Amino acid sequence: MARILLFLLLVLLPWLDWAQETVMAIDVKSLDFYEHGNRPAPEVVARKDTLTFYPCSQCHKYWKTNPQPRVLAPVHDVGLKHGAGQLWCLVCHDPQDRDSLHTVRGAKVDFDQAYRVCGQCHAARQEDWYFGAHGKRVGNWKGEPERYNCTHCHNPHQPPFMKRKAKPPPPVRAGLQPMHHAQRDEIPIWQRPIAARKGNSHE
């Protein structure tokens, strides 16, 4: 057993030194987001012009940055409900350049490329977004893809979708009578029209 351990130690030590030198040589500032399968980042619809308080520097240039986590002044009215209480504004917003976001490695990120910040914690969702399984594509399916940013659909301060009132049902075709849900549920399935049966995947 000791011979096996000695052999492994002699074989692995030079490799570990090489690995450490390789890792140290990597410029971590350039690794500010993960490119999925060397796929280039898609074009993203610009959003900065629609933000109420952007550019942030129009106010923040008069104030010294306070890095202490605290309740914000009412002007923001943000109500941060993201990350189970583990996040604070300056985790995503750059403390030196208030008109930019930043990664955990300190690389600046434009507000229009917020997906680079979101993807640091939500890598699986970002991968789905890269390949078109999550989010929304703009325009048609030909040419270079253009997508909505994460923050077009998700409020970055409260990402889960808020509850919305259901829209009214579509109109009933001419010659048919509308069937209310209560009435429908009272009819046994074997007595319902075949078309009504097919529309219920849980039955």
The terminus-to-terminus CA distance of the chain in angstroms comes to 62
Residue type, 188: P
What's the pLDDT at 122? 92
Q: What is the DSSP string of 13-43?
A: HHHHHHHHHHHHHS-GGG-SS--GGGPPPPE
DSSP designation for 113: G
Average pLDDT per run of 10 along the chain, which is 203 residues long? 58 49 40 58 88 89 87 71 85 93 93 92 89 84 84 88 83 79 62 58 46
What's the pLDDT at 142? 78
- Backbone φ/ψ region at 162: left (φ over 0), alpha (ψ -120 to 50), beta: beta
Q: Tell me phi and psi for residue 90, to 5 degrees.
A: -80, 5
**In the block, which residue shows the tokens 């699986």?**
124
Cα angle vertex 32, ends 137, 65, to 5°? 105
What the block records as the tokens of 60 is 């923040």
The rounded distance, in Å, linking the Cα atoms of 161 and 47 is: 19
DSSP designation for 171: P
What's the pLDDT at 114? 93
- pTM here is 0.62
Q: How many CA atoms within 13 Å lie on the side-chain side of 202?
A: 1
The rounded distance, in Å, linking the Cα atoms of 150 and 152 is: 6
What the block records as the tokens of 130 is 């890269």
* CA distances, 182 to each of 179, 186, 189 (Å): 8, 7, 14
Is residue 135 within 8 A of residue 150, CB to CB? The reply is yes
